[in-house]
């Protein structure tokens, strides 16, 4: 299921969907995402650039991401890599924080999603404050900006921090990895075993 985007083009016609938003006693809902599971966990063994899930959509991104391992990659690679953005956000100057909260940046989607027929473009700030916490919506690529923009420097700074400070999670059959997508950036190491198979679940905030 695809969330609604501010602008879409392509043939998939999935822009009418949205992230699960059930309210009431079951305030946290989950739904599998077969399209993205196929595109991101089976079909593209190249390394992924650090990002938060859903940065390329206009709606609030999923709060948690869960990856369930059906078949781990044999041989090297295929680990999910993660980095906590909290120290990076805490290190921002007041001026930088204000800019990230108040500037609508333009984002485009990944080539993998484009191959599914969705050419997404949207605008949103990198930081959002909600109920006393920060939501980070960011990617180290796919940001449409001028080279002298502060966001370009931030991409380089946070990508270097990711390369230095990430943790890499290796999968075994039936492992499930769950993380806070409002706080952590994630990526994936390259791999060569195309039988690697994970399932993804997105959990709304």
Which residues sit at the interface with Fe ion, rule CB under 5 A? 53
Query: Which of 99/142 has CB closer to Fe ion?
Result: 142
Query: Which of 15/39 has CB closer to Fe ion?
Result: 39
- Containing 95, the helix (H) or strand (E) segment is helix 94-102
Q: Provide, rounded to whole angstroms, the least separation between the CB of residue 28 and Fe ion.
A: 20
Q: 134: number of CA atoms within 13 Å, CB side?
A: 20
Q: Provide, rounded to whole angstroms, the least separation between the CB of residue 66 and Fe ion.
A: 12
Query: Which of 53/79 has CB closer to Fe ion?
Result: 53
DSSP assignment of 132-172 equals TEEEE--BSS-EE--TTSHHHHHHHHHHHHHHHH-EEE---
Q: Is 63 helix (H, G, I), strand (E, B) or coil?
A: coil
Q: Provide, rounded to whole angstroms, the least separation between the CB of residue 186 and Fe ion.
A: 6
Q: How far apart are CA 64 and CA 182, in angstroms?
A: 8
Query: Which of 53/180 has CB closer to Fe ion?
Result: 53
Are the beta carbons of 97 and 185 closer than 8 angstroms?
Answer: no
Q: Provide, rounded to whole angstroms, the least separation between the CB of residue 24 and Fe ion.
A: 29
């Amino acid at each position: 299921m695809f969330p609604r985007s501010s602008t879409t083009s392509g043939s998939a016609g999935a822009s009418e969907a949205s992230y699960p938003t059930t309210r009431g006693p079951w305030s946290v809902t989950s739904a599998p995402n077969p399209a993205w599971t196929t595109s991101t966990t089976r079909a593209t063994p190249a390394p992924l650039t650090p990002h938060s899930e859903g940065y390329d959509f206009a709606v609030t991104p999923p709060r948690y991401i869960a990856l369930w391992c059906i078949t781990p990659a044999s041989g090297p690679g295929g680990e999910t890599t993660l980095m906590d953005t909290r120290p990076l956000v805490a290190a921002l100057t007041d001026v930088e924080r204000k800019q990230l909260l108040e500037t609508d940046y333009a984002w485009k989607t990944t080539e993998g999603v484009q191959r599914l027929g969705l050419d997404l473009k949207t605008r949103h700030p990198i930081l959002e404050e909600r109920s006393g916490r920060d939501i980070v919506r960011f990617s180290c690529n796919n940001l449409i900006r001028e080279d002298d923009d502060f966001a370009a420097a931030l991409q380089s700074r946070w990508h270097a921090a990711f390369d230095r400070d990430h943790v890499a999670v290796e999968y075994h059959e039936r492992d499930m990895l769950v993380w806070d997508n409002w706080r952590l950036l994630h990526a994936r190491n390259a791999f060569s075993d195309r039988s690697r198979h994970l399932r993804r679940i997105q959990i709304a905030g």
